[in-house]
Amino acid sequence: MTTRAVVTGVGHHLPERVVANAEFEAMLDTSDAWIRSRSGIERRHFAAEGETSSILGTKAAEAALADAGRSADDIDAILVATSTPDLTFPSTATMIQAELGMTGGYAFDIQAVCTGFVYALANANALILAGQARRILVIGTETFSRIMDWKDRSTCVLFGDGAGAVVLEAQEGTGTTADRGILATDLHSDGRFRELLYVDGGVSTTGRSGHLRMQGREVFRHAVEKLAETAETTLAELGLSSGDIDRIVPHQANLRIIRATAQKMGIPLERVILTVQDHGNTSAASIPLALSIGKARGQIRRGNLLLLEAIGGGLTWGSVVLRW
């Protein structure tokens, strides 16, 4: 028997306010046509004043718990991937823990920017395989609208707010790729690329949270190359090929990156979950949001083999192969 970390529930939450591309035309030298053609984004959600990452994350967690038929008391640990925490400390994870009414177990944040959910899932899997937890809530939640420079047209039109969550539970498998659950993970970072995507503030530098800065074209180049590489690594570890994948669930930053990566892997776009048009780039929330929406659309079904892949600031990148 082999222990597997299986997704037993998924949920998401989006702020009510939807902002169409056209809204930016009034304040910046940009156009709906440019944003759509360069990024695939048509609209995004922005959090209301006072609507924090922990509030969005709590609602996504409640939806995932309901989907799994579990209550907060059943959970041993909470891992929250976020780059936009409510406060410098305590962690957003402990705030969500309190909101859920959970007084046992442990909760902590993971910071790997847009790769955050992939990092959190891989680390939650390791905790389950090590026997340190049997049921874990893994949450990605972001309010990137708080770190936008609204005068920088090259970044502020690309990001959005939202949250997604999964319940991960230990179950016994047979040790083959037919098992449900996480089958392989692959994580990377290379801090030499810090200047490509970062926030120009922080606690021990400016004392302010700062604004997002990105060399988009360079990040784009790294993205296609590194996403295809990490996907190849996880699949090779399992002796599988891209033809075995039912659905790619990519980080939703740019439709052109998603398309180019799928093409490099020889996977048709019909097998890719796409939400970037409706959410923009929600950083660590984008993959769990896409999982939840993919399931609701009927595009992700029990037994499907999924490839999750992401790249973000750091640079950080990685992938997870799991059977739903």
Q: Interface with ligand UT7 by CB under 6 A: which range of 34-42, 45-53, 84-92, 239-247?
A: 34-42
**Helices 255-265/32-39 angle, 10° precision:** 20
Of 183 and 197, which CB lies nearer to ligand UT7 in the complex structure?
197
Q: How far is CA 264 from CA 117, 240, 258, in A?
A: 23, 16, 10
Determine if 157 is a binding residue for ligand UT7 (CB under 6 A).
Answer: yes
Give CA angle at 57 (54, 60), nearest 5°. 155
Strand partners, 143: 161
Q: Counting Cβ atoms within 10 Å, is residue 297 exposed (0-12), middle (13-18) or buried (19+)? A: exposed
Determine if 220 is a binding residue for ligand UT7 (CB under 6 A).
Answer: yes
Determine if 312 is a binding residue for ligand UT7 (CB under 6 A).
Answer: yes
Q: Interface with ligand UT7 by CB under 6 A: which range of 29-37, 141-149, 161-169, 185-193?
A: 29-37
Does the CA dihedral 217-220-225-230 come out positive or negative? positive
The CA distance from 26 to 184, in Å, is 46
Determine if 254 is a binding residue for ligand UT7 (CB under 6 A).
Answer: yes
Determine if 125 is a binding residue for ligand UT7 (CB under 6 A).
Answer: no
Of 86 and 142, which CB lies nearer to ligand UT7 in the complex structure?
142
The residue from 30, 177, 209, 233 that contacts ligand UT7 (CB under 6 A) is 30
- Shortest approach of ligand UT7 to residue 192 CB, angstroms? 17
For residue 52, give the 3-state DSSP assignment: coil
Q: Nearest to residue 119, comparing CAs of 306, 320, 324?
A: 320
Active site residues: 114, 251, 281
Q: Interface with ligand UT7 by CB under 6 A: which range of 10-18, 59-67, 100-108, 149-157?
A: 149-157
- Residues near ligand UT7, by CB under 6 A: 30, 34-35, 38-39, 114, 153-154, 157, 216-217, 219-220, 223, 253-254, 257, 281, 311-312
